């Protein structure tokens, strides 16, 4: 195909905010995990598919298959969409009790 650009599972974009390797990147409707660290505006590779272990709100009791959101202010995954303020990130691929600090999240395509 002459018009094929890339598979899209990894994207190189300008970092919308300073990010560390393994951190969540939200750029409009692009959601993913940074493959490296970058300053604002610097190019960063963003992985847009897969399952990642991410820190979560300690009080959240997350069930298997639950929709999870990203609270950018706290840099944590949560089950609370905060009236649309938090960005949907994906689904939990495991249960994570309120006593745990992280959860495995499958990124969802939007």
Residue 110 confidence class, pLDDT cut points 50, 70, 90:
low
- Torsional sign, CA 22, 26, 30, 36: negative
Give per-residue pLDDT as tens, 67-86.
999 999 999 999 999 888 99
> Could you give the maximum distance between any two Cα atoms of the chain, in Å?
52
| Contact status, residue 34 vs residue 20, Cβ threshold 8 Å | yes
- Report which of 42, 52, 43 is spatially closest to residue 92, judged by C-alpha positions: 52
| Contact status, residue 19 vs residue 25, Cβ threshold 8 Å | yes
103, β-bridge pairs: 54
In the block, residue with structure tokens 């999240």: 105
Give per-residue pLDDT as tens, 7-42.
889 999 999 999 999 999 999 999 999 999 999 999
């Amino acid at each position: 195909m002459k018009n094929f650009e890339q598979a899209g599972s990894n994207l190189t974009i300008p970092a919308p905010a300073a990010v560390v390797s393994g951190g969540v990147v939200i750029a409009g409707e692009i959601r993913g995990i940074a493959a490296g660290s970058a300053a604002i505006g610097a190019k960063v590779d963003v992985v847009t598919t897969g399952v990642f272990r991410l820190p979560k709100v300690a009080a959240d009791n997350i069930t298997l298959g639950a929709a999870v959101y990203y609270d950018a202010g706290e840099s944590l995954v949560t089950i609370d969409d905060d009236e649309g303020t938090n960005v949907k990130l994906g689904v939990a691929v495991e249960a994570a009790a309120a006593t745990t600090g992280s959860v495995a999240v499958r990124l969802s395509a939007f």
